Every structure is written in structure tokens, then in C-alpha cells.
Amino acid sequence: MKQAELPADLADTDIDRIIEMAWEDRTPFDAIESQFGLSEQAVIELMRRELKPASWRRWRARVQGRSTKHAALSAVDDARFKSNQQRTVTLNKIAKR
């Protein structure tokens, strides 16, 4: 299997957000790709690198074949799960408080 390129310029906060999005059931890999530029394979490799082995195996078993993680398999409209306030956190910019 071909290894995906992981960007070297990912900040710790970006890595944390990617992991959080990857664990969420309703966040498809396409959303991670559009926000951070990481393909599904790159997300898998990032998760393997950052998680403990048992956590990675648990995540991988959970995600594999899950229709909500793959937009092409999902019958759910993406707009249905968006919050009205989501625009303020687009592109993972932390809002000043």
C-alpha cells in the first residue's frame, strides 16, 4: 500500500482537531480533507502515529466501512448536521474570547 504524505507544518492544535474529527461518527473524511488537505490514507497514518496501539485498533475497527465516514456511502445530507455557528470555526481558526 502506498504511504500518504503527511504535511510537516501541522501544529499540535491541528493534529488534535484532526484526531477529534476522525473520532466523530458524523464527520466524513472529505471534511478533514477539505479543511486540512489530508487524504483518508493520510488521516489513517496520522492516527496510527499519534494514538496508542490499542486506541488505534479500536478506532480503525470503528471507522472501517462506516457509511457516515465516507461521503460517497452516506445517504445523509451534509447540511443537516451543520450548526448555525459553524462558520465561526471554519478552517479550524480559534475564535478570540
Task: Look up the pTM and report it.
Answer: 0.67
| Residue where the block lists cell 472529505 | 30
pLDDT in tens, 59-96: 999 988 787 776 665 554 555 555 555 555 555 555 55
Residues 12/94, Cβ–Cβ less than 8 Å: no
* Residue-by-residue DSSP string for 8-64: TT--HHHHHHHHHHHH-TT--HHHHHHHH---HHHHHHHHHHHS-HHHHHHHHHHHT
Residue 8 has pLDDT above 70, yes or no: yes
Q: What pLDDT does residue 38 have?
A: 93
pLDDT in tens, 17-68: 999 999 998 889 999 999 999 999 999 999 999 999 999 999 999 988 787 7
